[in-house]
Structure 1
Amino acid sequence: MSIQASGTQAASTPASVAVFVGSLRKESFNRKIADILAELAGDSLRFEQIEIGNLPHYNQDLDDEGTPPAQWTAFREKVAPFDAVLFVTPEYNRSVPAVLKNALDVGSRPYGKSVWDGKPGAVVSVSPGAIGGFGANHHLRQALVFLNVPTLQQPEAYLGGVSKLLGDDGKLQNEGTKEFLGKFVKAFADWIASNKKS
């Protein structure tokens, strides 16, 4: 009886997903796509964007000395309770933006206290270019392997030509892309359910 009750509760409570946007631009295509993904998720997942632009560059001396910046501590405490993580990133020079890599580093320390450990994740790369941020997507996946973030494998999400997919209101104008992103969100929800830390 208690097992059934627990299962019912788990099914009715959407998993919480911390969303990290790799672009700091005010009119970021990536932020708009992150907003669209949250809308498509509906009640199946609870998305919350976590700001990363105010994090000082990671310097291990500050952790070793017991004087981490308040922004690091607040970030770690904010991310830790989430069930899963989603990264929506542009590609800068065939890799992820420095601000996103810095957030990964800050969250991974101090050693043995990584906020990423075991959280199921997913990556969406977004670009005005034709290859959809492929380099950034896969470079980020390399880091996530080391951070022990089981990352959704299929469907892969590379959104190229994004400026033509969005209207002036930031909404998707392409039904095929909307359908694809809907399937992506559904697959991510299933992935989280299968890989969620107990």
Structure 2
Amino acid sequence: MTKKIGIIVGSLRKGSYGKQIAKNFMTLLPDGYEPVVIDFSQLPLYNEDLDDGQDVPAAWTEFRNDVQAVDGIMFFTPEYNRSIPGGLKNALDVGSRPMGHNVWDHKPAAIISYSPGAIGGMGGNFALRQPLVFLNMPTLQQPEAYLGHVNQMLDDDQKVSNPGTIQYFQSIVDAYVEFLDRNMA
């Protein structure tokens, strides 16, 4: 049975480094693991008044169904002001509601943060871990995935070609696959 890995990229920017890095990671998944890109770009801001069963935005329902359909999630997030992008936080909120219907519950997660700066989005990585605790998502601890100088990792074709970087990415994927298999509910 194929296991589906949700791929969620925190940046909405068309040319996002995260989208390119995620594509590189997806090629490293072993047979039997299917990447599924989950887009949150069309989600209206969460407002509990709209979650009454009558006026639920269709985008919320589609997003919740998409998350529910995967076995685990790999988050690729930039760091915005020592935290995560607002759109990503909104996606977490939409998926966690209404109360008692948390689609994130028990889904094993990996966090890959990135930045053109040296510390690789560490603040964003740490900030994302906080809500994942509340959402009851077991999260891969090692290897830690902070991708510094991400703007230098991609070649003209938006591929990672440095063998050492590819090996590092593979070590993250391998650890996550093992973690996912151990923690699937």
TM-score past 0.5 threshold = yes
Map 1:44-193 → 2, pairs under 5 A:
44-64=32-52, 66-193=54-181
SS at match of 1:20: strand
Cα separation, 2, equivalents of 1:78 and 1:193: 20
1:42 to partner: Cα distance: 3.6
After superposition, give the CA deviation of every residue in 1:81-120 in whole Å (9 maximum; x if it has no partner). 2110110010100000001000000000010101100111
Cα separation, 2, equivalents of 1:196 and 1:109: 21
- AA of the residue aligned to 1:130: A
**Higher Cα Rg, which structure:** 1
More helix by share: 1
Given candidates 19, 41, 44, the residue that maps to 1:31 is 19
Cα separation, 2, equivalents of 1:78 and 1:172: 28
SS at match of 1:41: coil
Cα separation, 2, equivalents of 1:128 and 1:191: 28
Stretches of 4+ aligned residues off by more than 6 angstroms: none
Cα separation, 2, equivalents of 1:45 and 1:65: 34
1:195 to partner: Cα distance: 0.1
On the 8 A contact 1:16/1:83 being kept in 2, the answer is yes
TM-score by length of 1: 0.91
SS at match of 2:27: helix
- Which sections of structure 2, spanning at least 5 residues, go unmatched? none
1:174 to partner: Cα distance: 1.9
Cα separation, 2, equivalents of 1:170 and 1:40: 15
TM-score by length of 2: 0.97
SS at match of 2:28: helix
Percentage of identical aligned residues: 51
SS at match of 2:51: helix
Moved more, 164-173 or 63-72: 63-72
Aligned residues: 185
- Per the alignment, do residues 136 and 57 of structure 1 end up closer, same or farther by CA in structure 2, a change over 3 Å counting? same
Cα separation, 1, equivalents of 2:52 and 2:111: 31
On the 8 A contact 1:125/1:134 being kept in 2, the answer is yes
Moved more, 41-50 or 113-122: 41-50
SS at match of 1:131: coil
Cα separation, 2, equivalents of 1:48 and 1:73: 17
